[in-house]
Amino acid sequence: MTALPDSHFPWMELAARTYRGFRRNHFVRSEDKDAIRKWRERYGNRDVYAGISQFATSERQANFACNMVFDIDAPDRQMALDDVKRLCAWLWEHLAVRNQVNTSFSGNKGFHLVLARHVLGYPPGALLLKVNRELASDLTEKIRHLDTTIYQPSRLWRLTNSIHGQSGLYKIPLEVAELDLGLDYVLERSREPREWETAAIEEKSPQAASWFSRFVDQHVQEDMRPQASETRSRFSQGWRIPPCIRRLLAAAPVRGQRHSRLFELARFFSWIGAHQQEVETILQNANVSDPIDDVDDYVPRAVMWARTHPGFPGCHNPILMSCCESERCFRHQKNRRSTTMTKQANQPVKEYRAGTIRASVWEKVVQEGGQKRTRHSIQIQKRFCDEQGRWRDTDCFFPTDLPKLELVARKAFEFVSLRDKGIARQDDQ
């Protein structure tokens, strides 16, 4: 079975705690084991973290997918062990999942538990986080040390087989059955990494998926559920469909992009308000040429996901770029005009540079006392290249930068002073 989210959400965030504080916003592809290994080695495999979410692009503002996660953090290790055993028992009783659960000892005074989103039928990330938060809040009466604050896409927790900086113990994976062997067993095992992953089953569970649907109906707010508008057998606003989408519907799918192609189509037609059944019909018809094997299971999941992640993929989407007809596309022409106007409006009126130091003079017209006045502001920044080779701006300077900073600041001051005098003379006239 091919998983919708896995192929479309390949990015994960890595982080580390150092003596200078947290370092994060380092994104790698989830399957890039070499990049993850190098991150561990850079920080001695101590206090290194990974995000609980996977992202569509290498930024935290992108669409995301996540698993159902629980974090138990107690003041006493035995309390934490008792709580995680109660949580596993609750999941077995209500969701009929036991072999599908991944458990880990955090390396100090807590346990982590993961139930893969595959088991629940691939719900959208925002919806799953909402359900996860509501469920954790409901369970706090029975499981006292359950952390209910972790349910954010940007949340981090320790990488498996990494060293906890305080205790010196490893975060290790555990089988659910090993929890019954006692705290001494867990602590002894955590003195060294375990070079294997728990063999949790990640196939869809009908019982768990049914529980998830019932919980959404009973607890989750209406605006968080996937919604469908009125049925449209025809798109009255066909002009809103760009040429690239039309070509994507008609073209034979490229091997390796068939699932992503259907997913982007589902997002677009959900965005323009097509009914859920209409979108499923469109995807079924688009899958006639070189069909995917699990289409009957994949299409409904793609549509459900798209209902909470609607949108036009954008002109830079690699799938749409192969079908681009920019000379005929109204969206391309509109975006180009908008980008040009935005760049013109967001340009400083003057810039002074000395090496990597830059002073930008900004101008703004404001209303004061019923009259229009021109106000200026000066922004001084330094360009630098980060560890990933990307150029960035900062407002922190070394002592050796101060002569150049003084030079560009003086030039900016002279420009503003002379410009203000000229504007004042024009106002007097």
- AA identity, residue 16: A
User: Which pairs count as long-range contacts for 266-270, CB under 8 Å and 24+ apart, including other chains?
Assistant: 266/302, 266/303, 266/305, 266/306, 267/306, 267/309, 267/310, 267/311, 267/312, 267/313, 268/241, 268/310, 268/311, 268/312, 268/313, 269/306, 270/303, 270/306, 270/307, 270/309, 270/310
Interatomic CA distance for residues 412 and 416, integer angstroms: 6
Report d(CA 156, CA 143) in Å as an integer.
22
Residues 54 and 153 sit within 8 Å (Cβ to Cβ): no
- Residue 135 pLDDT > 70: yes
**Could you tell me the pLDDT band of residue 324, with boundaries at 50, 70 and 90?**
confident
Give mean pLDDT, residues 107-127.
85
**Both structure tokens of 350:** 């003057």
Measured between alpha carbons, how far apart are the two ends of the chain, in Å?
Answer: 77
- Residue 423's pLDDT is what? 57
Distances (CA, A) of 301 to 2, 231, 283, 286, 293: 11, 19, 12, 16, 14
Q: Which residues on neighbouring strands pair with residue 159, listed in sequence order? A: none
* Cβ(62)–Cβ(49) below 8 Å: no
Could you tell me which residue, 247 or 253, shows the higher pLDDT? 247
> Sign (positive/negative) of CA torsion 287, 288, 289, 295?
positive
> CA distances (Å), 66 to each of 160, 311, 344, in order?
17, 20, 40
**Each residue's pLDDT tens digit, 34-48:** 999 999 999 999 999
Q: HSE of 346 in the Cβ direction (CA atoms, 13 Å)?
A: 6
CB 96 within 8 A of CB 159: no
pLDDT per position as a tens digit, 184-224: 999 999 999 987 655 555 677 788 888 888 887 776 544 44
Instruction: Give the model confidence (pLDDT) of 345-378 as tens digits.
Output: 578 889 999 988 999 998 888 877 777 888 888 9
Structural domain spans, the chain: 4-217, 238-336, 348-428
Please choose, from the candidates 175, 170, 171, 172, the residue with its C-alpha nearest in 3D space to the C-alpha of residue 200.
175
The top-scoring range by mean pLDDT among 193-202, 225-234, 328-337, 391-400 is 391-400
Tell whether the model's pLDDT for residue 335 goes beyond 70. no
Question: Concatenated DSSP letters for 133-194?
Answer: HHHHHHHTTTSTTB--S--STT-EEEPTTPBPTTT-PBPEEE-GGGGGG-HHHHHHHTTS--
**Predicted local confidence at residue 332, as pLDDT:** 61
Under the banding of pLDDT at 50, 70 and 90, the label for residue 336 is low
Task: Give the integer Cα–Cα distance in Å for 257 and 250.
Answer: 15
Predicted confidence band of residue 265 (pLDDT cuts 50, 70, 90)? confident
Q: Higher model confidence: residue 1 or residue 250?
A: 250
| 1-15, 381-395, 404-418 — most confident range | 404-418
CATH topology of domain 4-217: DNA primase, PRIM domain (3.90.920)
d(CA 426, CA 429): 5
- CB-based burial, 109-143: b 16+ in 10 Å, e otherwise: bbbbbbbbbbbbbbbbbbbbbbbbbbbbeebeeeb
DSSP state of 406: H
Provide, rounded to the nearest whole percent, the portion of the chain with pLDDT above 70: 79
Which 8-state DSSP code applies to residue 60?
Answer: T
Rounded to an integer, what distance in angstroms lies between the CA atom of residue 203 and that of residue 189? 28
357-368 vs 350-354, strand pairing mode: antiparallel
Lowest mean pLDDT, pick from 47-51, 53-57, 69-73: 53-57
Q: How many CB atoms lie under 10 A from the CB of residue 422?
A: 10
H helix runs in 43-124, sequence order: 77-95
pLDDT band at 312 (very low <50, low <70, confident <90, very high): confident
Q: How far is the CA of 300 from the CAs of 123, 222, 276, 355, in angstroms?
A: 11, 20, 9, 56
Phi then psi for residue 22, to 5 deg, are -80, 140
Dig out the tokens for 71 from the structure.
Answer: 């974090």
More confident residue, 176 or 304: 176
Instruction: Read off the pLDDT band of 6 (50, 70, 90).
Output: low
Query: Is-contact 204 119, C-beta < 8 A?
Result: yes
